[in-house]
Amino acid sequence: MPDILILVVFVLCLAFDYINGFHDTANAIATSVSTRALTPRMAVWLSAGLNFIGAMYSTGVAKTIGADLVKSAQMINEHIIIAAMIGAICWNLITWWLGIPSSSSHALVGGVIGSVLVSTGSDALKIDGIIRIVMALICSPVIAIITGVIIMTGIYWLVGRVAPSKLNNKFRRLQIVSAAMMSFAHGSNDAQKAMGIITLTLVSTGYLQTFEVPIWVKITAATAMGAGTAAGGWRIIRTMGAKIFKLEPVSGFAADLNSSCVIFGATLLHLPVSTTHVVSGSIMGVGTAKRINAVRWGVAQQMLVAWVLTIPCTAIVSAIVYKLTSLLIK
């Protein structure tokens, strides 16, 4: 039974990475698709390839996820992790179906918290680590809004006298570069979350003695993320690319450049962040730099509600799943 449960955890983690890939495809390519810098097919395949490469970059974020949510790997088991992953996956699928850009990172954190609370209690949770992760998730979109305003204002200052048609042609080409940067940054942060959960399971079951992500875990998680990205996430792309702020090539370039810098900066600090939150914040920031009423704040408010609800909702779902699966496993 234990080996079967480990296999179930592995499959669920890869499913989470796959769903994360098509759920968050919009983060990397929505701006370049909406401004027609890239065709949807080209953008998706570019993003898939660079997501894979980014996912192989490091394991710092994986170690944070594996070490900062629970006090000790020995305090949890596969059953708890299975419930956490099912809760996160369910929320991702619901928000994808509704076309709401929600956070896979929030979903994962909420899923773990819910299943641990209902199984072993709050004593197993590493509160200071959770606070550190949640603060990174909260602060990153705020930073993205501020730096988005700064970058967009700087670009306006540099090229303000260039004719709009000429400006858009140049930045449409530059968007290919910024979309590539964004895809790499996305892979470097998001794929590591499932790596962290798989490695945590291997440590908790005694298959690993230290928390070091095996190369086969990196490759399989990166492949799942890349495959999911290749599948695309067109419902969310429409929201990210057009409903928050009407993007032009220059603003799309600024949003991608800003997002990739914020996300990759978090990766270097070994902090998990929500790429959805960061990209949304960047789009709001560049829109505000043009004029504050250019941003459709009603859509932004709907997204904010989804963000706030993600952790408690996934915690509740994972807690229910734990109780239900307890009956089956026993």
* 22-32 confidence digits (pLDDT tens): 766 666 666 67
| Least reliable range by pLDDT among 136-140, 159-163, 186-190, 235-239 | 235-239
User: Per the structure block, which two tokens stand in for 204?
Assistant: 């908790």
DSSP annotation of 120: T
Which amino acid makes up residue 309? Answer: L
Interacting residues of 320 by C-beta distance below 8 A, sequence separation 6+: none
pTM score over 0.75: yes
Q: How confident is the model at residue 137, as a pLDDT?
A: 85
Of 42, 43, 56, 52, which is closest to residue 21 (Cα–Cα)?
52
Which amino acid makes up residue 183? Answer: S
Q: How confident is the model at residue 294, as a pLDDT?
A: 63
Considering only residues 302 and 286, tell me which one the structure prediction assigns the higher pLDDT.
286
